[in-house]
Amino acid sequence: MKRTGFLAVALVVALFWSLVPIYWFCRMAFLTPLEIQHYPWPLIPHAPNPAAFYNIFGFRYVLSGNLVSPASGQAAQIIRGLKDSFLVSLIVMVVTLAITLPLAYMFARMEFRYKNSLLFAILFAVALPPVSTLIPFYAMYVRLGLAGTLSGLVIVDLTLTVPFVTWMLIGYFRNLPPIERLAWMDGYGRLAAFVRLVLPLARSGVAVAAVIAFLFAWNEFTYALVLVNGTTANTLPTAVSGFLHQYPEPGNLAASVLITIVPPALVAYFLQRHVSEMNLVDPVR
Amino acid sequence: MASERILPLQSAEEAVATGRRRRALSDTEFALAFGVPVLVFLVLVVAYPLGYAVWMSLHRIMFFGGYRSTFVGLRNFERVLVDAGFWWSSWVTVRLTAEAVVLTMLIGLGLALMLNRTRAARGLTRTLVFLPWCVSTYGAGLMFAYLARGQTGLGTSIAYALGYSQPVDLMTSGLVIEVLAVGAAWTMAPLVAFFLLANLQTIPKRLYDLAALDQLSPLETFWHVTLPPLRYTLFVFASIVTVLTMKLFDFVFVMTGGGPGTASATLTYQIYKISFENLDLGYGAAMSFYLLFLIIASTLLLYLVWGRREVLR
């Protein structure tokens, strides 16, 4: 009985910790223009006002008393950003999986020369700070005509996701039972055994790797700011950052940050059931 | 798992090879077929910018009065060492990282232990607790900027609710690094909790029954049953969180902009300022190599003082 009580308290504390910053923005998004003019803002909006969510998508909203909340000038960028971010994140997710699945399997289950040095080369790529590669990337992209293009952004995102996801998946593949040997005995080749047997068995690890790759690309801001911002290719994070300079509209800023959370949150909800099957251990040992 | 590694894969493959069927791809061939394209990709995409950064760090690059670059050898690296701003930023980075790593690991462990026990509304609870991880670091930076500032902050709201009428500003030069560390821990703790939870699920229930039979206290049970299988993962994630915090840029950029003054100017922020505002590209590149060195040195240090013991265990 005492333990259940303790657990309940822990649960409440954990939920508070996780949700207060998000609630802070929810509240900001729903404040009325009048409430926003007076600090401090009320903890709970008295009359929740959904105008910001209309405004950021380019619709005006008529408040009570015939006040009109105008469509945001940033709406075009937000919509384009949503579209581009989806496209980039999906492509990055698919390509990351196509690259890292065989690679991680290779490191987890096979013995070959230079294995450890190759592994450390990949981990080195994880340690590389984006600020030190920003300018070289920009210079290279201008030369190659990739600056301001979505394909350029996909390539940069891949340099972040491939090393990280590989690192994560190696441990996962290592823990799978070695059933592919049975397949070899039945005459399957390496490739066929991998595609038909190992991948279906590892589907929960594959799913989690997919979410991580998607999230990395969806939330990438530093490279996007330098490489594609201000061009026709524009991802959601850079579109949202446009609100930073419009100080009087914190409601729109809050609403646009909140919509960036929705797609990954949905993905996380549908994939959390795989957590109990996951067993990830570090590959370097 | 260790026993699984002992079975040599090579022999199984040879057994197939001696069979009637056509010989399958060998390990090396498989590694060549999949590894080489990836390595070419990594070399092209990572080594080229790295080489370019080395080139920049050895030159003095000027934009004003026409672009020109002159070779200056190691002078940029020498300049960094006598730059007071660099040493201040290094201290800020180390302090932020130490605080963020400790907070992230403790909170991550706490969340994982709680989630492991929670039965009610399991899917929903897990998703809500993992939600901060879905918020991008720049989004989190915005949230914590509003939470910490005097006008819009949590502190002020609580103070007013308690009847005080003085705004509480947490973004002061004395506290701003701690606020950044809490924010960083908020975004990263769910990732740690996620992996620790996966590890917790592998601890056999039987061990807890035995611990109950031995009448171990909850603390002893935690120490002798729950913790040992987590220790290695804890070490790995301490390293990952160290690397991620030292690389953190957009979070600091949107939350504090290095301020107030230079109170939260981390190395990443300092390099950004030198390269993109002062346009002193060679100097910025040189400083970024010191950051890379700091990242590698601190993960190595973690390995030497902690990780090595866990690997041998």
Query: Looking at residue A271, which CATH number applies to its domain?
Result: 1.10.3720.10
- B291 CB neighbours in chain A (<8 A) are 129, 131-132
Give the chain B residue whose CA is nearest to the CA of A243: B142
Q: How far apart are the two ends of chain B, measured CA to CA in Å?
A: 14
One domain for residues A105 and A226 = yes
Give the model's pLDDT for residue B16. Answer: 46
Q: Chain B within 8 Å of A130 (Cβ-Cβ)?
A: yes
Tell me the percentage of chain A whose pLDDT exceeds 70. 87
- A251 CB neighbours in chain B (<8 A) are none
* Token code pair at residue B175: 């506290």
One domain for residues A126 and A59 = no
Tell me the percentage of chain A whose pLDDT exceeds 90. 6
Under 8 Å between Cβ of A171 and A283? yes
User: Residue B289: in which H helix or E strand, if any?
Assistant: helix B281-302
For A53-105, the pLDDT digits (tens) are 888 787 777 776 667 777 777 777 888 888 888 899 999 999 999 888 888 88
A283: in domain: no
Q: In this predicted model, which residue has the larger pLDDT, B128 or A197?
A: B128
Tally of residues, chain B: 313
Share the mean pLDDT of chain A: 78
* Token code pair at residue A84: 């581009």
How far apart CA A27 and CA A44 sit, in angstroms, is 7
Under 8 Å between Cβ of A130 and B247? yes
- B112 CB neighbours in chain A (<8 A) are none
- B45 CB neighbours in chain A (<8 A) are 155-156, 158-159
Give the model's pLDDT for residue B105. Answer: 95
One domain for residues A60 and A105 = no
Q: How far apart are the two ends of chain A, measured CA to CA in Å?
A: 42
Q: Do B129 and A15 touch (CB under 8 A)?
A: yes
Which among A103, A129, A241 has the least Cβ separation from residue B38?
A103
How far apart CA B171 and CA B169 sit, in angstroms, is 6
Under 8 Å between Cβ of A77 and A142? no
Q: Would the CA dihedral through A134, A140, A142, A144 be positive or negative? A: negative
How far apart CA A22 and CA A14 sit, in angstroms, is 13
Give the chain A residue whose CA is nearest to the CA of B190: A18
For A168-202, the pLDDT digits (tens) are 777 677 766 777 777 777 777 777 778 777 777 77
Q: DSSP letter at A49?
A: -
Q: Which of A17, A47, A69 is the last residue of a domain?
A: A69
Exposure on the CB side of residue A254, measured as CA atoms within 13 A: 26
Q: Do B38 and A99 touch (CB under 8 A)?
A: yes
Give the model's pLDDT for residue B10. Answer: 46
Q: In this predicted model, which residue has the larger pLDDT, A141 or A171?
A: A141
Q: Which of A22, A40, A69 is the last residue of a domain?
A: A69
- Domain range spanning residue A119? 75-277
Q: Do A272 and B110 touch (CB under 8 A)?
A: no
How far apart CA B247 and CA B237 sit, in angstroms, is 15
CATH number for the domain spanning B107: value is: 1.10.3720.10
**A285 pLDDT above the threshold of 70:** no
The Cα angle at residue A153 between residues A148 and A159, in degrees rounded to 5? 145
SS3 B120: coil
Q: Do A279 and B27 touch (CB under 8 A)?
A: no
Tally of residues, chain A: 285
C-alpha B215, offset from chain centre: 39
**B138 pLDDT above the threshold of 80:** yes
B3: in domain: no
Under 8 Å between Cβ of A275 and B198? yes
One domain for residues A62 and A101 = no
B124: in domain: yes
Q: In this predicted model, which residue has the larger pLDDT, B223 or A192?
A: B223
Q: In this predicted model, which residue has the larger pLDDT, B18 or A95?
A: A95
Closest CA to A55 of A252, A253, A268: A252
B305: in domain: yes
Give the model's pLDDT for residue B25. Answer: 61
A232: in domain: yes
Bridge partners of B68, per DSSP, are B62
Under 8 Å between Cβ of B224 and B177? no
How many angstroms away from the CA of B54 is the closest CA of chain A? 10
- Mean per-residue pLDDT, A106-133: 77
A/B interface, count of CB pairs below 8 Å: 272
- Mean per-residue pLDDT, B22-43: 69
Most confident option among A122-131, B100-109, B131-140: B100-109
**B184 pLDDT above the threshold of 60:** yes
For A205-247, the pLDDT digits (tens) are 787 788 888 888 888 888 887 787 666 667 788 888 777 766 5
Give the chain B residue whose CA is nearest to the CA of A217: B136
A282: in domain: no
- Domain range spanning residue B111? 86-312
One domain for residues A98 and A163 = yes
SS3 B173: coil
* Token code pair at residue A185: 């005995």
Q: In this predicted model, which residue has the larger pLDDT, A175 or B210?
A: B210
One domain for residues A64 and A105 = no
A38: in domain: yes
Give the model's pLDDT for residue B276. Answer: 82
Q: Do A276 and B201 touch (CB under 8 A)?
A: yes
- A117 CB neighbours in chain B (<8 A) are none
**B21 pLDDT above the threshold of 50:** no
How far apart CA A34 and CA A37 sit, in angstroms, is 6
pTM for the model stands at 0.83
What is the number of domains present in chain A? 2
One domain for residues A216 and A258 = yes
One domain for residues A105 and A42 = no
One domain for residues A61 and A81 = no
Q: Distances in Å between the alpha carbon of A200 and those of A194, A197, A203?
A: 9, 6, 5
Q: Chain B within 8 Å of A259 (Cβ-Cβ)?
A: no
